[in-house]
Structure 1
Amino acid sequence: MNSRLLLLAITTTMAMAGCSNADSENAMVADRSLQTCDDKPNCVSTRDKRDDFQLAKFTLNETGLAHWADIEQIALSLSGASLAKKATNYLHIECRSAVFGFVDDFELRLQGNEIIVRSESRTGYSDFGVNRERAEAFRTMLLESHYLTSE
């Protein structure tokens, strides 16, 4: 009998978790690339100066500046990534988690020779470091492609 209750509890939790993301999944998300993070530990940004939220700058070299389309493809190679919006010098990429399908917003804005990077979970309080890991994986791929300066 306890195994049935446990199964019911797990199923209910999974269903509720899936539903909690439904509204934000279909909502048109605004460009927040230039904004700092809120106070929840589920966001990182190159624009935020607070230690828990700050990412180091992404400074492109001349090769990187000439390859914005390639940089887009690198971003789209991240786990669960799909293009949500594209504008001049701006990319909004949705990264969907494999297990529950939660969506994180990964935004890139080219400003001069710098890429402003912001990655935030749409739902939940903490992201357990997933957004920082994604941003740093992106940095590593840009460094390996010789698009970033090594400051």
Structure 2
Amino acid sequence: MIFAGKRPHNLGITNGKLASCPNSPNCVSSQDTDPEHIISPLTFTTNLQSAMTELKQIIQSLPRTKIITETEDYLYAEFKSAFMGFVDDVEFYLDHQANVIQVRSASRLGYGDLGVNRQRIATIRAKFK
């Protein structure tokens, strides 16, 4: 893993929010406000536990993925690229009051990501019913 980088220290939920994206274009977040980084959250109509179970199954079905942290309303996974082993940090916060799953997907290293983080969330959204 030449290009894994170090795990960020700003991951997790603080006051109901995931960390903001950095200024670089290699991050998307459903809780960000600027057009470059904003992405819609996932929505669910089931209960919190069912939504988390389904989300976890989808994450585990994707290649080169490792779930690092899981609580009843938070899931953090690392996604590794097939080429060069770049690692992206992907977080999900299940906001049961709004019935949405807030998402954040960010590259650890580099500046751009060729749209990989946005595409990853779109893929997960398509699988999530």
Q: Tell me the TM-score normalized by structure 2.
A: 0.84
Matched with 2:78 is 94
Which residue does the alignment assign to 2:61? 77
Q: Counterparts of 1:38 and 1:47 in 2: how far apart (Å)?
A: 13
For residue 79 of structure 1, report the CA deviation from its aligned partner: 3.1
Structure 1 segments, 4+ long, off by >6 Å, are none
Q: Does 1:31 align with 2:11?
A: yes
Q: Does structure 1 residue 139 correspond to structure 2 residue 119?
A: no
Per the TM alignment, residue 100 of structure 1 is displaced from its structure 2 partner at its CA by 0.4
Amino acid at match of 1:114: V
Gaps of at least 5 residues in structure 2 are: none
CA distance in 2, matches of 1:132, 1:38: 15
Deviates more, 1:113-122 or 1:32-41: 32-41
Task: Give the match's secondary structure for 2:103.
Answer: strand
Superposed CA RMSD: 2.1
Out of 114, 119, 129, the residue aligned to residue 100 of structure 2 is: 114
* Higher Rg: 1
Letter in 1 for 2:112: S
After TM superposition, give the deviation of residue 67 of structure 1 in Å: 3.7
Q: Secondary structure at the match of 1:36?
A: coil
TM-score by length of 1: 0.73
Letter in 1 for 2:124: F
The AA in structure 2 aligned to 1:121 is S
Q: Report how many residues are paired.
A: 123
1:19-58 alignment, distance < 5 Å? 21-24=3-6, 27=7, 29-32=9-12, 34-58=18-42
1:12-52 CA deviation, whole Å, 9 max, x = no partner?
A: xxxxx92xx3541xx46542451221110000000012111
Write the letter of the residue equivalent to 2:100. Answer: E
| Aligned mates of 1:104, 1:95 — CA distance in 2 | 5
| Displacement after TM superposition at 1:78 (Å) | 2.4
Identity %: 34
Measure the CA separation in 2 of the matches of 1:53 and 1:67. 24
Other-structure match for 2:112: 126
The runs of 5 or more residues in structure 1 that have no matched partner are 1-16, 147-151
